[in-house]
């Protein structure tokens, strides 16, 4: 449960920071926010199975195999995780894009459009990591692709470091 909660906390932090920084509340933003909520609610269910499969009491990282998860289902779980991860950050990027469009027309004091563009790009870094993981799990043989697709998420930190350096 804790790793699943940590992932949801990351999403919530991005969401919270967005609305604190920009306070957007137009119709498109409300619909995007609703879509984000829908994806989060949908995403929790497969995420629970993935985390149980990986680090549960009989999870793969402790040398076991949890009951109810067959070898044939593992690639599907990794694909669902990647698609959910991509969807979350595409929506967050869309929220930032929408704020940028709105703020170009009506400037608000204290809002830095350059910082907004940087945050938009940071969301796209997450998207690129999710796409990389999805490509790995779909294109490589399962023996290599499954673990590599999971380890691709370990590139989030270095990718953000490089993004902010550039």
The reply to whether the predicted model has a pTM over 0.75 is yes
Burial 106-115, CB ≥16 within 10 A → b, else e: eeeeeeeeee
Distance, CA of 150 to chain centre: 13
Whether the predicted pLDDT of 75 surpasses 80? yes
How confident is the prediction for the chain on average, in pLDDT? 85
Compute the average pLDDT of residues 87-93.
95
Contact 53, 69 (CB under 8 A): yes
Q: What is the largest CA-CA distance in the chain?
A: 57
- Model confidence band, residue 61 (pLDDT cutoffs 50, 70, 90): low
Contact 22, 111 (CB under 8 A): yes
Query: To the nearest whole percent, how much of the chain has pLDDT over 90?
Result: 37
By CB neighbour count within 10 A (0-12 exposed, 13-18 middle, 19+ buried), where does 129 fall? buried
Whether the predicted pLDDT of 91 surpasses 90? yes
Whether the predicted pLDDT of 64 surpasses 70? no
Distance, CA of 116 to chain centre: 19
Which residues have C-beta within 8 Å of that of residue 94, sequence separation ≥ 6? 32
Cα gap 128→103, rounded to integer Å: 26
Contact 22, 103 (CB under 8 A): yes
Rg (CA), the chain: 18
Contact 49, 69 (CB under 8 A): yes
pLDDT value at position 45?
Answer: 74
- Model confidence band, residue 127 (pLDDT cutoffs 50, 70, 90): very high
Compute the average pLDDT of residues 55-59.
66
- Model confidence band, residue 117 (pLDDT cutoffs 50, 70, 90): very high
């Amino acid at each position: 449960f804790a790793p699943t909660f940590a992932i949801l906390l990351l999403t919530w932090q991005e969401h919270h920071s967005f609305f604190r920084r920009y306070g957007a509340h137009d119709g498109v933003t409300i619909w995007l926010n609703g879509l984000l909520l829908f994806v989060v609610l949908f995403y929790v269910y497969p995420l629970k199975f993935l985390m149980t499969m990986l680090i549960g009491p009989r999870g793969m990282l402790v040398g076991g195999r949890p009951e109810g998860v067959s070898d044939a289902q593992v690639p599907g779980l990794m694909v669902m995780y990647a698609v959910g991860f991509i969807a979350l950050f595409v929506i967050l990027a869309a929220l930032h894009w929408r704020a940028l469009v709105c703020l170009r027309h009506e400037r608000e004091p204290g809002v830095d459009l350059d910082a907004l563009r940087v945050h938009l790009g940071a969301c796209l870094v997450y998207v690129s990591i999710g796409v990389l993981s999805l490509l790995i799990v779909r294109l490589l043989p399962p023996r290599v692709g499954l673990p590599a697709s999971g380890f691709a998420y370990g590139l989030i930190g270095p990718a953000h470091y490089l993004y902010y350096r550039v």
